Chains A and B, each alone.
Chain A
């Protein structure tokens, strides 16, 4: 394994070098094109095109009886384009929605493609072997000449995107506005559709018809999780995709019976899952962690509020409370309460004396603030939104954790520092 790895990456074998460069270019170009499909909310269009190129390839092979890459890719390109036009036509001239139109066109083309492919395979035509590479993709065993063509096309795609970056961004974000600026939007639409078809046509050589839309879309989605800058998104998508293509190709290289496509996609999925889970800005884990943190903060604030209210009830004669006294006042789990108290203790907001808890000076400040915000908000709702006073408690319960000091100051000013809340409880201000 290690030996092959060395051999593969030492570039002593010129063939390997070409395969590598080819994989990088194909991966990068389809990922960058895919970014625009995703941004234009047309992620499924890659699926239609990739399934629809199959009949084109087969018919081109039958007509010219050749596996010349230009012939096959030409056929693929034409039938790919035809499928887009058909989807557009159905959408425009009927009530059928885009997803249904895509489903119809995709199955018709793919069905026809499989049919013709079966006919070819049973015809005993010796040249036909290798056509099934289009189903699963196999870049590692590709001819040098084919690789040149594919790499050239990928490079061409990347240059087109670089050149038309600005108008492509405009029409992806706000097509109507682009028209209003007087941009030749139809031309750019045509360009974007064409490069999508071209990217798919090139990419199916690496991953095959069925998995092509994954190669187009997945890197873009993963990249979007990692950045919110468009140029970085394109770059990251290209990078992810290239790396996956190299790994997939390497696996094919070591085990020649392994098709490239599925391996590329498996690695791609793994990397994307990592991005989706661990992205530092929008990842699932960080979101869960933020939720958890908020939840804990709310619990802590509620317990401090509870301690304050208990003291308030006795006119601040009593300051120390045990667990059961607290649970009597507020409905929460005993374990939860104990855990929260322990966290508060670590933060120096409460202290424990024998079995009784008391809030420290800093703890009192927070508890008092919660009570104040709660009551101010209730006043606000009854005065400004004219809600009856028995309807305001629930929202105030949530608002007390949301209001920041600026909003608190505003609230105090608009309400003119009221003394009592709608239930006639005194509002405790900090300086009292």
Chain B
């Protein structure tokens, strides 16, 4: 179930990525159109983070290419922002939440300058959007996992770009915050921004996303969420390993899941 879209905002073409000759992504080929909230779904080790890193140009692919806005990523970095997985950094680093969010205000022209008043305002606004304004001056080592995740999200928001790639932004976040972040993302896509979100909870994925990219080393599906909700796709993505699977096939049989328009 792979649907290509006309005039794609992201085009991933025949991408193969390996670590030390061990292939992690095989011939991935899909396209995403503008203004979508896209879920990238797959089990642990499926290559979701690797896919985001390849799109961001952080890893050299073995073959294939990625085009964003019809350009190479290096030409349009100021139009894309990236939210890494929380575990990718050492949170004992001596910095406050605000310090981290301000990093999103980097610009090539002023790499040596101090941040302006506007930068600070935008940073505070971004923290506010993820309900973290009260923690602006808190040391990042003192934040909970979910709060650290939200600091990363705020840092990307502070970049004010058109395309966002987020690696597990909901990991460790409590249910009510997850809902408020989801509303924020929906609002952003309504404003024409495009957002790719790596997510591991299949049950909520069908509710959250307009479009799904289902992955397990190779690409299983790239299509509107409703079309991805077939037993075959889920079976191929998660294999027989998923204990949740029976509950989910039940859900699918009922076929009355609320899917957002």
Interface of A toward B, CB cutoff 8 Å? 39, 41, 95, 163-164, 166-167, 169-170, 172-174, 176-177, 179-183, 224, 227-230, 233
A318 to chain B, nearest CB (A): 45
A168 to chain B, nearest CB (A): 11
Contact B112 A180 (CB under 8 A): no
B166 to chain A, nearest CB (A): 12
What per-residue 1/0 map shows which CB atoms of B75-95 lie under 8 Å from chain A? Answer: 001101110100011100111
- Which stretch in B40-48, B100-108, B204-212, B227-235 binds the other chain? B100-108
Cα distance A180–B81 when bound, in Å? 7
A432 to chain B, nearest CB (A): 32
Cα distance A28–B155 when bound, in Å? 33
Question: How many residues does chain B have at the interface if contact means C-beta atoms less than 8 Å apart?
Answer: 29
Give the residues in chain A near B155, CB-CB below 8 Å. Answer: 177
Which 5 A-B pairs rank lowest in CB-CB distance, beginning with the nearest? A182-B77, A180-B82, A230-B94, A228-B94, A174-B89
Give the residues in chain A near B78, CB-CB below 8 Å. Answer: 182
B28 to chain A, nearest CB (A): 20
Contact B56 A229 (CB under 8 A): no
Contact B84 A182 (CB under 8 A): no
Given contacts A39-B94, A180-B58, list 20 more A-B pairs with CB under 8 A: A95-B20, A164-B112, A166-B112, A167-B111, A169-B95, A170-B106, A173-B89, A173-B100, A173-B103, A174-B88, A174-B89, A176-B56, A176-B58, A176-B88, A179-B56, A179-B58, A180-B57, A180-B80, A180-B82, A181-B159
B85 nearest in chain A by CB position? A176
Cα distance A39–B77 when bound, in Å? 26
What per-residue 1/0 map shows which CB atoms of B161-202 lie under 8 Å from chain A? Answer: 000000000000000000000000000000000000000000
The verdict on B261 contacting chain A, using a C-beta distance below 8 Å, is no
A276 to chain B, nearest CB (A): 15
Cα distance A101–B56 when bound, in Å? 30
B4 to chain A, nearest CB (A): 26
Contact B56 A180 (CB under 8 A): yes
Count the A-B residue pairs with Cβ separation under 8 angstroms: how many?
A: 65
Contact A166 B111 (CB under 8 A): yes
Give the residues in chain A near B58, CB-CB below 8 Å. Answer: 176, 179-180
Give the residues in chain A near B111, CB-CB below 8 Å. Answer: 166-167, 183
Interface of B toward A, CB cutoff 8 Å? 20, 53, 56-58, 74, 77-78, 80-82, 84, 88-90, 93-95, 99-100, 103, 106, 108, 111-112, 139, 141, 155, 159
Give the residues in chain A near B93, CB-CB below 8 Å. Answer: 39, 172-173, 230
Contact B84 A176 (CB under 8 A): yes
Give the residues in chain B near A228, CB-CB below 8 Å. Answer: 94, 139, 141
Cα distance A180–B88 when bound, in Å? 14
Contact B112 A174 (CB under 8 A): no
Q: Given A39-B93, A228-B141, answer yes or no on A176-B53 (Cβ-Cβ < 8 Å).
A: yes
B2 to chain A, nearest CB (A): 27
B251 to chain A, nearest CB (A): 21
B103 nearest in chain A by CB position? A170
Secondary structure at the A interface, as helix, strand, loop or mixed, is: helix
Contact A182 B108 (CB under 8 A): yes
Give the residues in chain B near A179, CB-CB below 8 Å. Answer: 56-58
Cα distance A422–B189 when bound, in Å? 48
Q: Which of A41, A95, A180, A182 has the most CB of B within 10 A?
A: A180
Contact B95 A173 (CB under 8 A): yes
Cα distance A177–B95 when bound, in Å? 16
Give the residues in chain A near B53, CB-CB below 8 Å. Answer: 176
B74 nearest in chain A by CB position? A182
Q: Which of A41, A164, A173, A179 has the most CB of B within 10 A?
A: A173
A382 to chain B, nearest CB (A): 21
Contact B112 A163 (CB under 8 A): yes
A95 nearest in chain B by CB position? B20
A174 nearest in chain B by CB position? B89
B155 to chain A, nearest CB (A): 8
Give the residues in chain A near B108, CB-CB below 8 Å. Answer: 182
Cα distance A44–B82 when bound, in Å? 30
Give the residues in chain A near B90, CB-CB below 8 Å. Answer: 41, 173
Give the residues in chain A near B103, CB-CB below 8 Å. Answer: 170, 173-174, 177, 181
B105 nearest in chain A by CB position? A181
Cα distance A176–B85 when bound, in Å? 11
Contact A181 B77 (CB under 8 A): yes
Cα distance A169–B111 when bound, in Å? 11
Cα distance A166–B114 when bound, in Å? 9
B91 nearest in chain A by CB position? A173
Which of these, A170, A174, A227, A229, contacts B84 with CB under 8 Å?
A174
Give the residues in chain A near B84, CB-CB below 8 Å. Answer: 174, 176-177
Cα distance A176–B74 when bound, in Å? 14
Give the residues in chain B near A177, CB-CB below 8 Å. Answer: 82, 84, 103, 155
B82 to chain A, nearest CB (A): 4
Q: Which of B77, B106, B155 has the most CB of A within 10 A?
A: B106
A371 to chain B, nearest CB (A): 29
Give the residues in chain B near A181, CB-CB below 8 Å. Answer: 77, 103, 106, 159
Give the residues in chain A near B56, CB-CB below 8 Å. Answer: 176, 179-180
Which of these, B77, B100, B139, B141, contacts A180 with CB under 8 Å?
B77
Contact B88 A224 (CB under 8 A): no
Cα distance A166–B95 when bound, in Å? 13
Cα distance A182–B94 when bound, in Å? 24
Cα distance A95–B58 when bound, in Å? 21
Give the residues in chain B near A182, CB-CB below 8 Å. Answer: 74, 77-78, 108
Cα distance A392–B84 when bound, in Å? 38
A381 to chain B, nearest CB (A): 19
A232 to chain B, nearest CB (A): 8
Cα distance A172–B84 when bound, in Å? 15
